[in-house]
Amino acid sequence: MKHNQATRRDFLSTTVSAGIAAGMANGGFFESPLHANETKKLGVALVGLGSLSTNQIAPGLLHSSHCKLAAIVTGTPAKESVWAAKYGIAKDHIYNYESFEKIASDDSIDIVYVVLPNSMHAEFTIRAAKAGKHVLCEKPMANTAEECREMIAACKKADRKLAIGYRCQYEPHHLYCMNLAKTKELGAIKHIEAGFGFKIGDPTQWRLKKKLAGGGALMDVGIYALQACRYLTGEEPVSVIAQETKTDAVKFAEVDESIAWMMKFPSGVVAHCTTTYSLNGINRFHATTENGYIRMDPAYSYNDNRLETARGTSRGETKLAQVDQFATEMDEFAKCILENKPSKVSGEEGLKDMLVVEAIYDSIKTGASVRVVA
């Protein structure tokens, strides 16, 4: 597990010595921040203190303007004292999976951030909503579209907000690309190539167990490429056709190792996508437009993503601010709660991805093109 975590973290933190200075313009896409006030920060309970919580989310919370770490929920007693000491969390704000419901009477908690294996997302989102808390749930939203629907329904019933941890939708370079696509400054997008993968380590980890992960590379990282195609086109794919390959039938006995898939969009845009658990270095999208292209490579890392655009034969790199994607994601969710507006990375958005994921798996089974049904 440790080996894989290090590998994955190192990979996602790909360092491209582009020399992008912090504090440069972010492209002007963030709304003006609410007035940050320490005492008014919303309290976050982190559920699941694994690699992402330890290395990205908890440090991100220290940089958040509108959220703070208020409580932890863990199934590993040894982590309690370590986290309590590091983040100054009192005993009465520490819970385990069995005592979780007690968060209902903990007024320091506004938001529950679910950072557990994928199969546990639905259960803890629903339990959190029933406890009266807003929910930020990590991607992929759940193991199935059916679970996504149950999560949406539970949060609606409890009148709580639900958002999915699609951090790239707050990353300045991605926002810049979305704007270029929308304004058609380089002409309309005609074709997209997108992919994300990494070489997975430890063969015993939950990511390789279907019951815990739901699927393999596609649900873990392929979903970033899938999302990028959706938010660049601003459209939902109408059909997909996919093919899976395995080079290690033992290690990948339960989940997909590598998938190549094609999505057709209503406007005629075609996207060719790939995902893999066998190779580092696939981390990009390239959208060909009428007059040039929009390209990010790396595209989905925690930092140092690189954006290049072309108009005719003239190419250039666009360097924007580096932000803590997790702090930004949590701040934007806090603003949705405080201003009572829906999140742009809502449960409905997570469900749309899961419907495409299920169509891709169907296509692999049948060998045929599959319509994506909303």
Q: Per CB under 6 A, does 220 bind ligand NAD?
A: yes
CA distance 71 to 83: 10
Q: How far is the CB of 315 from ligand NAD (least distance, A)?
A: 29
Q: Per CB under 6 A, does 212 bind ligand NAD?
A: yes
Sign of CA dihedral 353, 355, 360, 361: positive
Q: Per CB under 6 A, does 165 bind ligand NAD?
A: yes
CA distance 59 to 78: 20
Q: Per CB under 6 A, does 206 bind ligand NAD?
A: yes
Q: Per CB under 6 A, does 115 bind ligand NAD?
A: yes
Cβ proximity to ligand NAD, 116 vs 218, nearer residue? 116
CA distance 244 to 357: 13
Cβ proximity to ligand NAD, 142 vs 180, nearer residue? 142
CA distance 281 to 260: 16
Binding residue for ligand NAD, selected from 167, 230, 284, 295, defined by CB under 6 A? 167
Binding residue for ligand NAD, selected from 93, 139, 264, 295, defined by CB under 6 A? 139
DSSP-assigned letter for residue 105: G
Residues whose CB is less than 8 angstroms from the CB of residue 230 and which lie 6 or more positions away in sequence, other chains included:
236, 237, 352, 353, 356
The answer to whether 154 and 125 have CB atoms below 8 angstroms apart is yes
Q: How far is the CB of 5 from ligand NAD (least distance, A)?
A: 5
Q: Which helix (H) or strand (E) holds 8?
A: helix 2-12
139 an active-site residue? yes
Q: Per CB under 6 A, does 148 bind ligand NAD?
A: no
Q: Per CB under 6 A, does 223 bind ligand NAD?
A: no
* Residue of minimal Cβ distance to ligand NAD: 50
- Candidate list 139, 161, 264, 352, residue with the active-site label: 139
Structure tokens at 241: 């056709």
199 an active-site residue? no
Cβ proximity to ligand NAD, 139 vs 160, nearer residue? 139
Residues whose CB is less than 8 angstroms from the CB of residue 269 and which lie 6 or more positions away in sequence, other chains included:
189, 190, 191, 192, 233, 235
Of 73-112, which residues contact ligand NAD (CB under 6 A)? 75-76
Q: How far is the CB of 236 from ligand NAD (least distance, A)?
A: 22
Cβ proximity to ligand NAD, 207 vs 264, nearer residue? 207
CA distance 179 to 191: 17
Of 176-195, which residues contact ligand NAD (CB under 6 A)? none
Cβ proximity to ligand NAD, 75 vs 266, nearer residue? 75
The answer to whether 134 and 125 have CB atoms below 8 angstroms apart is no
Stretch that binds ligand NAD, among 49-57, 146-154, 306-314, 366-374 (CB under 6 A): 49-57
Count of residues in contact with ligand NAD, rule CB under 6 A? 20
Binding residue for ligand NAD, selected from 27, 50, 59, 281, defined by CB under 6 A? 50
CA distance 359 to 148: 15
Binding residue for ligand NAD, selected from 51, 96, 108, 280, defined by CB under 6 A? 51
Stretch that binds ligand NAD, among 29-37, 101-109, 113-121, 285-293 (CB under 6 A): 113-121
Q: Per CB under 6 A, does 61 bind ligand NAD?
A: no
Peptide bond into 298 cis (omega under 30): yes
Binding residue for ligand NAD, selected from 41, 60, 68, 117, defined by CB under 6 A? 117
Q: Per CB under 6 A, does 298 bind ligand NAD?
A: no
- Candidate list 224, 293, 300, 361, residue with the active-site label: 224
Q: How far is the CB of 366 from ligand NAD (least distance, A)?
A: 27
Whole-Å CA distances, 25 to 148, 181, 285, 320, 323? 36, 20, 23, 6, 11
Beta bridge partners of 137: 114, 164
CA distance 176 to 178: 5
Instruction: Spell out the alpha helix ranges (H) of 13-57.
Output: 51-52
Q: Report the SS3 class of residue 316.
A: strand
Catalytic residues: 139, 224
What are the residues binding ligand NAD (CB under 6 A)? 5, 48-53, 75-76, 115-118, 138-139, 165, 167, 206, 212, 220
